[in-house]
Structure 1
Amino acid sequence: VATTAAGDRFAAPVLVNAAGAWCDEVARLAGVAPLGLQPLRRTIIAFDAPPGQEVRDWPFTKTAVDDFYMLPESGRLLACPVDEVPSEPTDAQPEEYDIALAAAKVEHYTSLAVRRIGHSWAGLRTFTHDRVPVAGFAPDADGFFWLAGQGGYGLQTAPAMSAIAEVLITGGAWPAGLTDWGIAPAHLAPERLGVGAV
């Protein structure tokens, strides 16, 4: 049962906690042991393409050491310094240092010059300590379902994670394709993170 500040009460047999960076905070409000999730801030800049160059067909480019990537977007180039700055759950905003770091990495790894940054933004990517998402019922609260810790792969994993959440909530059959890949419910269960001992 959830009660709003206005006194309205809502009840459901299952509460899915898919609040991203706020998942541990939602759990605390519900009296459920948190998982120890860590939101990490990541920054992206959009900068002007070289004069006279059409960049629409440029490839996504990433360093082998995983500390920079760049890709075309709407006539500009996007660049990221692959930063992971610990943060509290918040409406993340880019920091000047991280914006400058992104521009410096463009100029370090490419022959491009960052003449003007048209836009910058930051987001929070939330991880478990083992960097594997969580999907499963909390062992310390009936009906409280964790769907958290997708890190930076929420869009890519959404089809699989939604199918996983569905079968775990409804008691359906585990997807055969996941079994073929050696993925079982225990690999995603909150218990693996020591829930209840936090």
Structure 2
Amino acid sequence: MIKLKAMKKITLLFLSLIITVSLTAQDASLEFDPIATAEVPSEVIMSHNTNFPNGFVRSWAVNRGLSATDRIPERYQAVFSDGGGTNSHTATYLPNGMLFFHSEFLDPDNVPSEILLQTRSEFDDSEVEHVHFITMFNPKREIYRVKVRDQALVEMVYYTVNGMKIPKNELPEELLVFKY
């Protein structure tokens, strides 16, 4: 009887491991794939150099579309530092070189006080993990995205530059569709 229970547990554990591995193997990444600078169109590089003349590009990546087999690039992404600073910046471009958005990582110490006060009043048990200052260019819009954490619960909260909370149903479509 004891051997039978042990065999059931071992079999269940073995099947759980196999299922977990096979489910993970089926996950196709739709995020940005790293590429060499030589693979980035010249229009994109020229646009980046014009928009961020002091930017040092650490890496380039490409989003190849909504399916893993789609080989037509939709967006190119540069991860860079600007002006010798240590803050991380991200800029995304369309293949024709049009700047789509710019995002700057901010430590909580560098965030405007109105936004921190608003966040802390609404999420008093949560910790502000980090903030991105996102500039969208078509149409031009500036948004703070605040990542708050309450133990295992993580939530993104969005604010205007004036510290007004933006309801999720009023966010620009691009923020909901694309991963920044």
- Verify same fold: TM over 0.5: no
Higher relative contact order (CA 8 A, sep 6+): 1
TM-score range, shorter chain: under 0.3
The structure with the greater share of residues assigned to helix is 2
Q: TM-score, normalised by structure 2?
A: 0.25
The structure with the greater share of residues assigned to strand is 2
